[in-house]
Structure 1
Amino acid sequence: MNRSLAKKYRLIDLFSGAGGFTLGFTDSRYGGGFQSILALDNDKAALESYAANFGRHGILANIEDWLGTKPKIPLSDVVIGGLPCQGFSLLNKKRQGDSRRSLWQPFMQVVESTQASIFVIENVSEFLRSKECNESKELAERIGFKTACAILNSADYGVPQIRRRGFIIGWKQKASLSPCFPPLPTHSNLPLLSNLPNWLTVRDAIGDLPEPEGTEIRKIPPPLDLHFGRNPTAISLARYQAVPPGGNRFDLQKNAPELTPDCWIKKTSGGTDLFGRLWWDKPSVTIRTEFFKPEKGRYLHPEKHRPITHREAARLMGFPDDFRFIGSKSEIAKQIGNAVPPPLAGAIARTIRVMLDSFEKERDECLLFRS
């Protein structure tokens, strides 16, 4: 067997959250071929989830504080990180003064320290249009990396969700092989033209789940452990019932104006997803951290009079049912909404695996020539 095919490449995940990015790199269902050796996050519950799925090698800390202790960082092949998106999100009206916009700097410090051959940064698509993105690429070039950028839609890679995110991949300039980046899609919204399977839909992801039971996390096997509901007030339930399939807050205003908040009535444009229902036969909208609140987006079930459950949200993010989430209801919701969808991560991992195998082959041939 080729030695590179049996090798597990060393992976560091910064701003790891619960580990959606790591799962795509380490699980053979998605990409595989990588071994997680270190994770870092400042969310205690998220790191508990990470430990439950990948082992206890996570560090609970802010990255700047951790680097300030001058830690001994292990050597790695790849460093990945979903940098906090709030500093670049259009939802953050004060984003220009947000200190989280500079977290690419300690990320690159780790990349350099660990002597990685490749790094990957994920963030909202607005990041790629920022000066911070340009600065990070300039620094990467100074320390010996070439870079490529792309905005990827998770639906193109087998995730039942429209989620567009920006990615930077960097690889050592000494390598002769450039990456196939962005990765070739595995799914399409034009299957007849592309010869690819159609985008996965909400029905594909959650259509087999029964009605949720209770309002708390249950100590039973997945998927029903996280498949719990809420206790809506009478007015909330009446609002849900006023929204037809595919509808949103404008339907609520039309069908039940007496139930519509004044602020929505006065705001006659924008926010078409607020209090909206998902469509059975389309991918989900972007799942955020408060998906259990329909006033935050199109998070009502396609036909039931309720928001989606935690299990439904996890499936819409592409998490398998056997992935373990640890924490309170709100902590787990945050972990789900902040994750990099594992199938999308896996598509990137497969590209990187090809590159690293090529690096190994080049090195072996060079050593053979010298001998």
Structure 2
Amino acid sequence: MALKVIDLFCGAGGLSLGLVDGRFSGGFETILALDNDRAAIATHGVNLPGRAVCANIDQWLAEGEVPEADVVIGGPPCQGFSLLNKKRDGDQRRALWEPYLDIVDKSGASVFLMENVAELYRSPELLDIRARAAKLGFQTQATILNTADYGAPQTRRRTIVLGWKDVNWAPAFPPLPSHAAPGTGSNLPHWRTVRGAIADLPPPTRDTIEGSAPLDLHFGRNPTAKSMERYRSVPEGGNRFDLQRNAPHITPDCWIRKTSGGTDLFGRLWWDRPSVTIRTEFYKPEKGRYLHPVQDRPITHREAARLMGFPDDFKFVGSKVEIARQIGNAVPPPFAGALGRMVRDLFMPVAKTA
């Protein structure tokens, strides 16, 4: 029987997909998904089983009935961690992990899996999370993991907090990696690369989100002549400093004045490395290393989805900006699958002895 899952702050459903889909893990059934992003909830509902609800978590918790579940998953948004958001210093509102743990408690779950930014690991707020979990009877472990070590073609470092009680086995935490960086001497397969993820896609030729996979999201911006000249001045693996050297006359003055930092800004990806972290504005090269390795353009939405590890048959719902936000905020499904297999093992029956 599938383990029942509640997915909080679910976004498009990358974490649920990694648990539910047999290509990644399997053995789980999402019975409830909750998020306040309407487009993301629509995406979750199209692709995954269970009830998908668009609501703020505190409001829903006050008005809704928490179903019984085996596992609660999700990543309270980093804006909720006041110690990670300096603009909220002194703000006494509840951090978003608090209603998350309220639902863990009310659901009767034996396991919770929390995913968030790497900075959470060294935040005093992690101590608060673990202390509250301990009061609810949970043991916890936490660490920072790199999604490239688990089959995603992207280096994305995230804090994972695992809580458990009343399960059959102690967790094998963190899960063993399936891939390793080249040059480390490991016998594991090398990290998946940008080339392996997107090289088969043709250059984008149309500007639409309609159609059949994989080209339904294969669109990008319509760059100006100046933007094209800027793109051409940056070699594979290069960045804004190459732009400044090769085309100073079209380099923004603010970049010329800033002589250090920002080495990913206006950068090109490398073919034979994983992608950098895909964020919500990956279609803007001024935001990071989001230029295609050899074509003079930013990566498309389809390429970004592949670099997150989403299969082409996963359907996104919403506008271009809404879909980009869903992709950039997601948990890479291959990484989620590794976490799911670890959680599934906790519920394996204990063999009877003669």
The TM-score bracket by the shorter chain reads over 0.9
- Over 3 Å counting, the alpha-carbon distance change for 1:257 and 1:190 in structure 2 is closer
Check conservation: 1:243, 1:276, Cα contact below 8 A. Answer: yes
Separation in 2, partners of 1:9, 1:166: 24
> 2:12 is matched with which residue: 4, 14, 18?
18
Separation in 2, partners of 1:72, 1:278: 46
In structure 2, give the amino acid aligned to 1:72: E
Q: How does 1:57-68 map to 2 (within 5 A)?
A: 57-68=51-62
Greater Cα shift, 101-110 or 117-126: 101-110
Check conservation: 2:279, 2:328, Cα contact below 8 A. Answer: yes
- Over 3 Å counting, the alpha-carbon distance change for 1:200 and 1:160 in structure 2 is same
In structure 2, give the amino acid aligned to 1:221: S
- State whether structure 2 residue 105 is matched by structure 1 residue 119: no
Report the CA distance between 1:269 and its aligned residue.
Answer: 0.6
Separation in 2, partners of 1:99, 1:144: 26
Name structure 2 gaps, 5 residues minimum.
none
- Tell me the equivalent position of 2:139: 146
- Over 3 Å counting, the alpha-carbon distance change for 1:68 and 1:177 in structure 2 is same
Separation in 2, partners of 1:234, 1:57: 47
Separation in 1, partners of 2:348, 2:15: 20
Check conservation: 1:214, 1:230, Cα contact below 8 A. Answer: no
- State whether structure 2 residue 181 is matched by structure 1 residue 186: no
Deviations 1:248-292 (A, max 9, x none): 000101111111111111111100000000000000000000000
Q: How does 1:18-57 map to 2 (within 5 A)?
A: 18-55=12-49, 57=51
Report the CA distance between 1:213 and its aligned residue.
Answer: 1.6
RMSD: 2.0
User: Counterpart of 1:102 in 2: which secondary structure?
Assistant: coil
Report the CA distance between 1:96 and its aligned residue.
Answer: 4.0
- Over 3 Å counting, the alpha-carbon distance change for 1:255 and 1:86 in structure 2 is farther
- Tell me the equivalent position of 1:290: 281
Check conservation: 1:127, 1:166, Cα contact below 8 A. Answer: yes
- Over 3 Å counting, the alpha-carbon distance change for 1:239 and 1:257 in structure 2 is same
- State whether structure 2 residue 304 is matched by structure 1 residue 313: yes
- Over 3 Å counting, the alpha-carbon distance change for 1:165 and 1:149 in structure 2 is same
Greater Cα shift, 253-262 or 286-295: 253-262
- State whether structure 2 residue 268 is matched by structure 1 residue 277: yes
Separation in 2, partners of 1:204, 1:89: 39
Separation in 2, partners of 1:311, 1:163: 18
In structure 1, give the amino acid aligned to 2:244: Q
- Over 3 Å counting, the alpha-carbon distance change for 1:249 and 1:194 in structure 2 is same
Report the CA distance between 1:346 and its aligned residue.
Answer: 0.5
Separation in 1, partners of 2:206, 2:45: 27
Separation in 1, partners of 2:91, 2:296: 38
**Which aligned segments of 4 or more residues in structure 1 are displaced greater than 6 angstroms?**
98-101
Check conservation: 1:88, 1:126, Cα contact below 8 A. Answer: no
Report the CA distance between 1:114 and its aligned residue.
Answer: 0.1
User: Counterpart of 1:258 in 2: which secondary structure?
Assistant: helix
Separation in 1, partners of 2:141, 2:193: 30
What TM-score, normalized to structure 1? 0.91
Deviations 1:109-140 (A, max 9, x none): 00000000000110001111112211110011
- Over 3 Å counting, the alpha-carbon distance change for 1:293 and 1:92 in structure 2 is farther
User: Counterpart of 1:136 in 2: which secondary structure?
Assistant: helix
> 2:204 is matched with which residue: 200, 212, 230?
212
Check conservation: 2:168, 2:346, Cα contact below 8 A. Answer: no
- Over 3 Å counting, the alpha-carbon distance change for 1:271 and 1:213 in structure 2 is same
Identity of matched residues, %: 61
Separation in 1, partners of 2:84, 2:95: 18
> 1:252 is matched with which residue: 243, 255, 261?
243
Separation in 2, partners of 1:64, 1:298: 36
Report the CA distance between 1:160 and its aligned residue.
Answer: 0.4
- State whether structure 2 residue 161 is matched by structure 1 residue 171: no
Separation in 1, partners of 2:284, 2:83: 20
- Tell me the equivalent position of 1:196: 188
Check conservation: 2:18, 2:25, Cα contact below 8 A. Answer: yes
- Tell me the equivalent position of 1:107: 100
Report the CA distance between 1:229 and its aligned residue.
Answer: 2.4
Separation in 2, partners of 1:136, 1:114: 18
What TM-score, normalized to structure 2? 0.95
Name structure 1 gaps, 5 residues minimum.
1-6
User: Counterpart of 2:185 in 1: which secondary structure?
Assistant: helix
User: What count of residue pairs does the alignment treat as equivalent?
Assistant: 354
